[in-house]
């Protein structure tokens, strides 16, 4: 008869272990999401905020975007081209320069 209580304890322990493993998996997933959010916020805090946009669709680059450096380079080239275009237009408008 001693085998039955031992088996019941083993079954109960097995259920407890399974429950704790599921709970650990759930908490690990929540922690992973929170860490990702913290990385995203930390990335935004370290960026130059620039000028705020009225439209959220034009709020700037996501620091966690894997293409962020390429996009910054493209934006820099566009800016430089714009500066050069303005310089040329200004020199045409006032030939005495």
Q: How far apart are CA 84 and CA 97, in angstroms?
A: 15
* Whether pTM exceeds 0.85: no
pLDDT at residue 82, rounded to an integer = 95
Distances (CA, A) of 5 to 13, 17, 39, 61: 12, 18, 50, 63
pLDDT at residue 63, rounded to an integer = 75
At 2-28, the pLDDT tens digits run 557 788 787 888 889 999 999 999 999
Closest CA to 47 of 68, 73, 66, 33: 68
pLDDT at residue 64, rounded to an integer = 81
């Amino acid at each position: 008869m001693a085998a039955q209580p031992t088996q019941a304890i083993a079954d109960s322990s097995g259920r407890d272990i399974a429950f704790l493993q599921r709970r650990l998996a759930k908490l690990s997933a929540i922690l992973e999401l929170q860490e990702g959010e913290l990385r995203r916020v930390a990335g935004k805090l370290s960026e130059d905020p620039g000028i705020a946009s009225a439209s959220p669709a034009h709020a700037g680059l996501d620091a966690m975007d894997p293409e962020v450096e390429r996009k910054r380079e493209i934006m820099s080239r566009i800016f430089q081209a714009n500066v050069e275009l303005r310089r040329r237009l200004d020199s045409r408008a006032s030939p005495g320069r």
